[in-house]
Amino acid sequence: MVAQILDGRKISVSVLESVKQRVEGLQESGIHPTLCFVTIGESEPALMYVSRLEKLAARVGISVCRRSLPFDVSLDDLDSEVASLNAADYVDGILVQMPLPPHLTSVDLSIIIDPRKDVDGLTVHNAGKLYLGMSGQVPSTAVAMTHILHVSGIEPAGKHAVVVGRSKVVGHPVAELLLRCDATVTVAHRATRDLGAVTRGADILMVGAGEPHLITLDMVKPGVVIVDAGINPTESGVVGDVDFEACREVASAITPVPGGVGPVTNAIVLRNLVDSAEQRFG
Ligand code: NAD
């Protein structure tokens, strides 16, 4: 069996098209959705990510602004910068560059961003809504991973979904979204014993571990659907957490890296921003 390639670039085009239409609708009512990036330090990959999203936002008519803070910014200074964006009426969404420097934690962000402007679902309020099954902002990568299944006609209900990774932005929320879709969900993580024994039981395998080619051919069963969020820069380029070339020979469907979850995540961030703008202005 050679897998169907789940093409994230193609999927992102249709998400962006609908975002553009919704932005035009808002603009007709005099509302100009605006996303503000907060960058910390001069990390080249992070700044490249921000400028890529800025270009994408411009393509769909979303305005952007950027606040640049030094790498050693104190929690108090970050707090007051975010507080000024929380209070700024023209700002619909706030995206703080990740990963944060070691002296700051995502817990800090989860309590200082206004939940109405929390386009990446990081706040206590939005995380609580996710786990209570209420609608709210959900981390964009997790939404992207389940969106890929949805638009590809892959139905999680009744299937065994294995999620590798339990971070707040990828594994944990994706497991929650799969439960909502009636999948039977197993979450594996760094302390899981015999990871292969767990992943071989997966009908759907969702991976966000941050380890290049962690998932090898012997760890998957024929016919599995694989969605790989991993982004790992290596000497031979960016690779995922899954050995794509080997696993595509047995999977029924698989996302490539690059060109899989990444582009869909970017489009979902902008969709979340439009959700925020629409909700703020009723
Ligand atoms: P993280 O370090 O916060 O979490 C990694 C998780 O994977 C942890 O729960 C850890 O227990 C688990 N893990 C790590 N090694 C493991 C192993 N050997 N066996 C089993 N579990 C293991 O990372 P993160 O922020 O969740 O990111 C994960 C990956 O997803 C990274 O490659 C990151 O670059 C990528 N990512 C991609 C997007 C996107 O838009 N495509 C967005 C965010 C993160």
65: CATH? 3.40.50.10860
**Which is higher by pLDDT, 99 or 83?**
83
Mean pLDDT calculated for residue range 258-274: 98
Residue labelled with tokens 């071989």: 200
Do 100 and 120 have their domain in common?
yes
Number of Cβ atoms within 10 Å of the Cβ of 67: 16
Mean pLDDT calculated for residue range 235-249: 97
pLDDT at position 1 over 80: no
Q: CA 141 to CA 145: how far, in whole Å?
A: 6
Q: Which atom of ligand 1 is nearest to the CA of 214?
A: 18
* Residue with CA closest to ligand 1 atom 34: 231
pLDDT at position 195: 98
Do 154 and 235 have their domain in common?
yes
Of 22-31, 49-58, 97-106, 185-194, minimum mean pLDDT range: 97-106
pLDDT at position 2: 84
Mean pLDDT calculated for residue range 184-208: 98
211 within domain boundaries: yes
Do 164 and 223 have their domain in common?
yes
Number of domains making up the chain: 2
Q: CA 103 to CA 101: how far, in whole Å?
A: 6
Ligand 1 centre to CA of 198 (Å) is 17
Q: CA 12 to CA 267: how far, in whole Å?
A: 6
Q: Which domain holds residue 89?
A: 30-127
Do 77 and 151 have their domain in common?
no
- In sequence order, which residues have a C-beta less than 8 Å from that of residue 33 and are 6 or more positions away? 23, 26, 61, 62, 63, 92, 93, 273, 274, 276, 277
Q: What is the pLDDT of residues 60-72, one digit of tens each?
A: 999 999 999 999 9
Q: CA 88 to CA 85: how far, in whole Å?
A: 5
In the chain, what percentage of residues exceed pLDDT 70?
Answer: 100
Do 78 and 166 have their domain in common?
no
pLDDT at position 43: 86
Token code pair at residue 67 = 């606040």
Do 100 and 146 have their domain in common?
no
pLDDT at position 185: 98
Q: How would residue 108 be classed by pLDDT, with cut points 50, 70 and 90?
A: confident
Do 154 and 209 have their domain in common?
yes
Q: Is 75 helix (H, G, I), strand (E, B) or coil?
A: helix
Residue-averaged pLDDT of the chain? 96
Which CATH number is 198's domain given?
Answer: 3.40.50.720
Ligand 1 centre to CA of 90 (Å) is 34
pLDDT at position 105: 84
CA 104, 234, 188 angle in degrees (round to 5)?
Answer: 60
pLDDT at position 138 over 90: yes
Closest CA to 94 of 70, 73, 122: 122
pLDDT at position 281: 86
Q: Which atom of ligand 1 is nearest to the CA of 260?
A: 41
Do 183 and 154 have their domain in common?
yes
pLDDT at position 282: 79
For residues 158, 189, 256 and 251, what is the CA-based torsion angle, rounded to 10 degrees? -50
Which regions of 27-132 does DSSP assign to beta strands (E)? 34-40, 63-69, 93-96
Q: CA 60 to CA 58: how far, in whole Å?
A: 5
Do 230 and 179 have their domain in common?
yes
Ligand 1 centre to CA of 210 (Å) is 4
118 within domain boundaries: yes
Number of Cβ atoms within 10 Å of the Cβ of 43: 16
Which regions of 117-198 does DSSP assign to beta strands (E)? 160-164, 184-188
Mean pLDDT calculated for residue range 163-172: 97
Mean pLDDT calculated for residue range 202-207: 98
pLDDT at position 59: 97
272 within domain boundaries: no
In the chain, what percentage of residues exceed pLDDT 90?
Answer: 91
Q: Which atom of ligand 1 is nearest to the CA of 264?
A: 40
Task: Indicate the top mutation candidate among 11, 167, 227 to test ligand 1's pocket, ranked by most ligand atoms within 8 A of CB.
Answer: 167
Do 87 and 159 have their domain in common?
no
